Each structure stands twice: as structure tokens, then as C-alpha cells.
Amino acid sequence: SAALRDNYEMNLKTQTLLRLGHSEYRPLQEQAIDALCSGQDVLLAAPTGGGKSLVYQAAGLIRSGVAIIVSPLLSLMSQQVEELNAKGIRAKFLNSTLNSGEQDDLVWALRHHHIDLLYLSPEKLVQASVIGFLHSIDISLFAIDEAHCISQWGDFFRPEYSQLGQLKAFFPHVPIIALTGTVDQKTIITIQESLQLIDCLVLKSSFDRANIKLQIAQKRKAKQQILYFLHHEVPGESGIIYCRSRKKTDELSNWLRGLGLPSLSYHAAMTDEEKQANHAVFIKQYGTIMVATTAYGMGIDIAHVRFVIHLDLPSSPEAYFQEVGRAGRDGKPAKSLLLYGLQDMLQAQQLAALNPMASEREIQHLGSLFRILEGRGCRRQNLLSHFDEEIPACQYCDRCLTNRSEQNMSTASQKLLSLVYHTKGLQPFSLLIQVLLGKKSKSVSAIKGESLPLFGKGKELNEAQWKSVIRYLIAYEYISVGTTSFFTLCINEKARAVLQGKVQIIIPAEYYYPVLSEDVLKS
Ligand code: ADP
């Protein structure tokens, strides 16, 4: 009867969970598993650590046939297979290190229903011979892990990922689950379209990682700022410092080691052995500081990371979120600090503009990141609104903790914009600031700056404040960086409304890090 069948399915679900080592499903996990078991396609978006792998593992075990799991991260797949095997679960990893004898054994085992979960790389999965073979066996589901790679890497880096769209046509009756970390709505739609998941169930968990304190501050003597943070906020804790360049990574970790702080580096120019060795130390020796490029990232799941520092700008809000999210994976309080300045913004924008490989999308992502840095109000609210999630002000980011004063910079903005206009977008920002401040330097004379109507007309602000005005105007696309190497600024059509006084420019007060108390300032 139906009741009996329901009861049986219930038991199977519970038993499967126990086999996988847990006692309760999380709500989203259960919804996703139920949908897959009824043959529906699913797109599951949840932050790293949200327990996504359990979903395809459990559904794969519950449904009859072999679950085919693809991930771009080979190390993650082999790790999962090992863990599953240790629990007595029949999982295998089809990779190119298998010799022909092992491959034959695997094929035999698959044909004779001795395997429940099969992991393989996207490259393998799209091979005609593999697809042909899969047609000859019973498949329970396809799981596409890190599905955001479809839109992020597109055709250039991982062409196989876009070919995964054929799966639905080849296997119309096999449910597909696409799994992704924190992504915006546009990316969700791109994933759905690329994988042909027309009527899929979209499940999105909250992206808020409330245990991580967000701090974003202007970079000033960055090394001292980092030292202060390490000594006062996270003494003796493990954490990651992200830098853009390999050289900087090595330099900083050497410098920290010189000061007696246990520090290692990690970047793509190191050998695999070096990388693995440093990673192993970071896992084992509590209190290690890993100075890394973003090469240290995907698939890294270490519970005890207590802080993440950004010494350079991440490439997008997604990247920022993911990188910060490597802290506090155990749910306990964790801290983050991002240091940046106008120079970093201009450099990032210029690199993107000059890079022929950079897509329109990447440039847009950078713009979204800038608005998270410069936007008014709570940091966490701004970040999560990028992922279409509304939350109350957090009360513990730098904005919520300091008095959130704001200044009306409309007049200042008009001055700057007209100066950019009058100098035809040919002058670097530093020179424009000198003109506004009425500095009689050589470079000002060289462009006859003294004779410009705005010469010395901006003394109401200091240099740092002028930079903050420029940053805001860049973030909201009133101006953009020129493509020469001198960081010139060009005016955009949108600026007209500011010049005409139709738009007010309200800028949040700068956050200085560290915030020194009165006592410290006096002593
Ligand atoms: P994701 O793939 O979303 O990054 P994982 O699948 O690696 O997340 O899971 C993160 C952690 O949460 C793992 O340590 C896992 O054992 C744990 N976990 C997953 N599901 C459950 C559950 N239902 N109950 C308790 N712990 C869980």
C-alpha cells in the first residue's frame, strides 16, 4: 500500500543518513533529496560548508543505479571517495591514473551494480566513449559540483563545462543536480540555461555567514595595519592573508616570519610538493598564517581558520564572499579585514579594461565590488543585497560599529568632475587633487594648472578626502579610469546629472584602521 511504501522510503532515507554519518538532514538537504528521488532536476545554491555533498551522496544511494558526480577539483573528489570508502560506501573515482586493468575492473563493477557513486572529471564525462558507456548502465542521477564554473570560466578555461549542457538531451530521464556556492541571480539563470534545467527546483539557502565580522578599511601602511590586526584581534590564531602577486606573497610571509610569526606562502608558481607541504602544515599547526594568492582557495575546508585578510582587492563580490568565507567554517566567531585604496581600484579597473580576455561580465563584477566597498550603510547588508538577500543591519561590521556619519559631497564632486572635463580626461588623479588643493608643484606648472579656474578651489577637503570622493565617483560610474598608465580619469555621461545638480552625492565617512582610542592617541 501507499502508506507502507512511504514508510519504507522514510526508513531508507534515515538509514542512508546514518550510513553517511549524520543524524538529521538539514531542511534544504531533505527538500533537494526528495526532489531528486522523485526524478526532478535541482539547482542548489548554498555557501561553502552548507552541506551540499550530502545531497547527491544520499540521493545517489537511495535511488537505484550509479550516481555520476563531476567536479572540477580532482583533489576534492579523491578525498570524498576515500571518506566514503571508509564508511563502507561503494564509491569510485574514474581518473587518468587508473591503468587498463583497473579500468576494466571498474567497468565490470559498474556493469554488475557494485558501485553506487562514481566520481569523474568534466573532461572525462564529455568523452564520446564515456557517454556511450553510460548509456549501457543504469544511472541514478548526475551531480554537477561547482556549477558556477559554467558561467565563470565559460568557454575559455574549461570548455568541457559548457558541453555538460548535452547531458539533459542524452539522458532525458535522469535527474540532474547542479550545486553552487554563493552566486547572484544572473549566475543561477546562466547555470539553468547552460545545463538545460528548464523546470528545475531552485533551492537557495541564506548566504549570510553571521559569525564572520566584516571590516573594510583604507590601506595606509598596510604592513603595520596587518601587524596590529594580528596582535590585537587574532593573536595566535590561524588565518589566511590574500595578496594578488606571487612575489608579494613570498615577501610578506618572509617578513612575518622575520618577526617571529609562524607564516607560510602558497601560490601557483610553487611546485605541487611545496604547496602540499605548506597546506599540510597550515592544517596541522594551529596558529599558522598562510599568505596566499587566490590559488589557495577552492575546495579548502579547514575548520579552524579564524581570520582572512585581503591585502589586495578580490575580483568580484563572489570572490570576496568566498574568500572571507574560508574563515569560521566551524561556526565560531571569525574576523576579516580588507585593505584597499584608490590606487587599487584604478589598477584593477585598468587591468580589466586592458585585458582582452576579460569579459564584460568581469568588468561588471568589479563595478559591483566597488559599490560594496563604497556604498553607504551596513557592509553585510550591501554584500548580501548583491546576492538578492535582504537582512537587517548587522551591528558589528565597521560601519555599524563606528558612527555612521555621512557627508554631502555634491559640490566637491561637481568641482572634481568639471576639472576632469576641462582637462579632457588627460591628467592623472593625483595631479587633479594638487590643482584643487592649489599646490604649486612642477607637475601642476607643467600643465599650467595655476591658470585653471578650479586651482586652489578645493581646499575645504584634504587629499584623503578628495581620494574618497574619486573612489565614490568611480564606484558609481560617474568617472572611469583611462587606459594610460598614469591613472587618468575620464568622465562618463552619467556625470552630467551631478554637474547639473540633479543628483546629490552622499559619501560615508572613511573608516580608519586601526581605530585608535583617545588614550592611545594621547600616549
Ligand atoms: P559544501 O559542499 O556545501 O561546502 P560539505 O558537504 O563539505 O559542504 O559539508 C560541510 C560540513 O557539514 C561537513 O563537515 C559535513 O560533514 C557537515 N554536514 C553536512 N550535512 C550535515 C548534516 N545533515 N548534519 C550535520 N553535519 C552535516
Nearest protein Cα to ligand 1, atom 23: 25
Q: How far apart are the first and last CA of the chain?
A: 81
Per-residue pLDDT at 119: 97
φ, ψ (nearest 5 deg) of residue 377: 90, -170
Inter-axis angle of helices 410-422 and 429-437, to 10 degrees?
A: 120
Tell which one of 24, 26, 54 to mutate to probe ligand 1, the residue whose CB is within 8 A of the most ligand atoms. 54
Report pLDDT digits (tens) over 107-160.
999 999 999 999 999 889 999 999 999 999 999 999 999 898 776 654 445 667
In angstroms, what is the span from residue 55 Cα to ligand 1's centroid?
9
Per-residue pLDDT at 158: 62
For cell 601642476, name the residue: 444
Euclidean distance between CA atoms 302 and 286, whole angstroms: 11
Give the pLDDT mean for 260-286.
95
Euclidean distance between CA atoms 363 and 57, whole angstroms: 37
Euclidean distance between CA atoms 287 and 82, whole angstroms: 28
Per-residue pLDDT at 214: 97
Euclidean distance between CA atoms 498 and 504, whole angstroms: 7
Report pLDDT digits (tens) over 357-376.
777 878 889 999 999 999 99
Report pLDDT digits (tens) over 162-197.
788 899 999 999 999 999 987 888 889 989 998 999
In angstroms, what is the span from residue 256 Cα to ligand 1's centroid?
34
For cell 595578496, name the residue: 243
Reading the block at residue 385, the C-alpha cell is: 543585497
pLDDT mean across residues, the chain? 91
- Taking alpha carbons only, the member of 255, 251, 233, 252 closest to residue 241 is 252
- Taking alpha carbons only, the member of 313, 339, 338, 340 closest to residue 327 is 338
Atom of ligand 1 nearest to the CA of 53: 6
In angstroms, what is the span from residue 84 Cα to ligand 1's centroid?
13
Indicate the residue type of 71: S
Whether the CB-CB separation of 70 and 155 falls below 8 Å is answered with no
Report pLDDT digits (tens) over 221-250.
999 999 999 999 999 999 999 999 999 999
Per-residue pLDDT at 7: 81
Per-residue pLDDT at 518: 47
Q: Specify the DSSP element, H or E, that contains 43.
A: strand 42-45
Nearest protein Cα to ligand 1, atom 5: 51
Q: CA torsion sign, 302 to 207 to 146 to 81?
A: positive
The whole-model pTM stands at 0.81
φ, ψ (nearest 5 deg) of residue 7: -60, -45
Is the ipTM here above 0.95?
A: yes
Reading the block at residue 239, the C-alpha cell is: 588565518
Does ligand 1 have an atom closer than 6 angstroms to the CB of 48?
yes
Euclidean distance between CA atoms 426 and 447, whole angstroms: 10
Does ligand 1 have an atom closer than 6 angstroms to the CB of 181?
no
Q: Where are the alpha helices (DSSP H) in 236-341?
A: 246-258, 272-284, 317-324
Reading the block at residue 317, the C-alpha cell is: 563580490
Nearest protein Cα to ligand 1, atom 26: 22
Nearest protein Cα to ligand 1, atom 15: 51
Euclidean distance between CA atoms 201 and 36, whole angstroms: 9
Whether the CB-CB separation of 331 and 211 falls below 8 Å is answered with yes
Nearest protein Cα to ligand 1, atom 17: 51
Is the pLDDT at 517 greater than 60, yes or no?
no
Q: How far is CA 179 from the centre of its chain?
A: 15
